[in-house]
Amino acid sequence: MTTVPARSDVPAESTWNHESVFPSFAAWREEYQAASDAIGDIAPFKGTLAQSPERFAEWFDLHATIARRVWKLYMYPVMWQACDGENEEIKGMVGQAQGLAGNFISSASFAEPELLEMDPGELLQWTQSEPVTQLYEHYVDNLMRTKQHILSGELEAALGLLSDPLGRIESIRGALNDMDLTFEAATDSAGVAQPLIQSTRDKLLADSDREARKTAWRNYADSYLKFSNTLATAYLASVKSNVVMARLRGYDSVLHAKLSPNNIPVEVFHNLINTYQKHIPTWHRYWDVRRRALGYDRIHPWDIWAPLTVDDPALTFLEAVDMIAAGMAPLGDDYVATMRRGCLEERWVDYAINEGKSEGAFSYGTYDSYPFIMMSFDGNLSSMSTLAHELGHSMHSHYTRAHQPFVYSHYSMFAAEVASNFNQAMVRAQLFARNDDRNFQLALIQEAMDNIHRYFFIMPTLARFEFEVHSRMENDEPLTPETLNQIMADFYAEGYGKTMTDDPTRTGITWAQFGHLYEAYYTFQYATGISAAHALANAILAGDDSDAVERYLAFLRAGGSKYPIPALMAAGVDMSTPLAVEETFKVLEGLVDRLEGLI
């Protein structure tokens, strides 16, 4: 690829079905005004929720109705901007949507403090015996559990209004990252320039040409280093806001504040980090085996994604969907048919590579839209795996929204990363079993290790980084761009060991390349997610438990109607202990053994 097409030049079938959400920008603006007016319907409910179970139910019906409209209005421009960041009209619509969301949150913020002023016994009695409010038993249980961290109605309203300006901290980073940040082109060994933008970076880092990989990795890092002061200022503002919010709500730390709402013990975080540190030597061994597989004297960070074979199969989008469908066949016809229809008929997936597209991939939608996917499909096994991952999220959303009312339609991040990694584990196992060709096996190991490297090396390293940064901020210790870079470089140095020849200055800026850090303690949940995913997939693939598939589908359907730890326990894995993390390190060790055997 020597040029990247403009958004207007990519085929419509490779873009998301935005017409299904709003037929035009004019229709969005019309609904925006109507939803803004509808927020005024909230005020008459203030001070009345304790009148009767019927009034309680009426409030939740109204809240759900308006919330569905607000989040649909929000999703539309945000998704569009991720796919086409150069669209000027969309930028203004994103700002309007953020303001609308903040106004809605503030207007509705009286409800939980008001419910908590009720007699707890009466409120619980309503949800246990009154037909109109029985639906909300889990909601009320969680509300009572977190009562001490919910503030007065006035303070909650103020914090609701602050959600918009505080949310724009991440928007500053996003605007710089996705729209203003430019990168010097990579150069291959023949001296040919290769365009480096967010949506081509991954492909260049996986190029068989070592010079192209090296220059892409260096040039990408160098652009972030040029803006390290701006990026650090934005990130530390986000960290500070997390600390202030945790203190306002009376939590011991930001870690407690982020895990408590989903009833996840902080020990789950520390179990993951401690287990990761114990198994770091496995990564050191992998770097050395990879070096030998590539035939190098020394291995560098830009060699981590180097292809282990030149015969990585080239795939069309349809072929990738077929591969995923075959891997997910054990889940049944309904799962596979829905997934195929979403990919090939309903246009859930925006897979085009174009100018102005955000880096990475994600699944995003609302209760009243398809579960859309944003990614850049490169036509290789890695892209197929990314698609499988995001389809795990989208199918989780599909089943949750099909079986849960709006109040339980938002599952936790802790649960989300299970479904995505589960799909990858299932598809990978099927591919390993069906084709024993050496080059195909090497390509599949490459895909597997790329994924595990991201979720079982990068994400725990980022989690350690954010825990260190938040701890220092909580203790009022000084933090600067240089401090952030040094913390990151030190953690990577430990992970790379003596078998990787590092470039610590460029490695140190890695933290700035991940918008995940703006949602505190999101990163560690990728590692717990992949651990639970492998445990659940292995149970289904073993074929010894006839109920394993149904238990997993029940987990997908449960959404937010259960706490994530017991929901996963019902599916077949206990994440309150480090056992699943240990088992997934065995998967990693097995892949390293397999690679060493092949070379």
- Catalytic center residues: 390
Which tokens go with 566?
Answer: 């017991």
Give the integer Cα–Cα distance in Å for 29 and 19: 14
Decide: helix, strand or coil at residue 161. helix
Q: Report H helices in 131-152.
A: 137-145
CB 588 within 8 A of CB 284: no
Give CA torsion, residues 261, 264, 265, 269, to 10 deg.
Answer: -110
Q: Scanning the structure block, which residue is given the tokens 């249980």?
A: 141
Give the per-residue SS3 of 232-301. Answer: HHHHHHHHHHHHHHHHHCCCCCHHHHHHHHHCCCHHHHHHHHHHHHHCHHHHHHHHHHHHHHHCCCCCCH
Neighbours of 68 (CB within 10 A): 17
Instruction: Say how many CA atoms lie within 13 Å of 510 toward its Cβ.
Output: 25
> Residues 469-484, buried b or exposed e (16+ Cβ, 10 A)?
bbeebbeeeebebebb
Q: Which residues contact 535 (CB under 8 A, 6 or more apart)?
A: 572, 573, 580, 583, 584
Terminal Cα distance for the chain, rounded: 31
What's the Cα-to-Cα distance from 175 to each of 95, 99, 216, 536, rounded to whole Å? 12, 17, 21, 38
Burial tier of 247 (Cβ tally within 10 Å: 0-12, 13-18, 19+): middle
> How would DSSP label each residue in 417-455?
HHHHHHHHHHHHHHHHHH---HHHHHHHHHHHHHHHHII
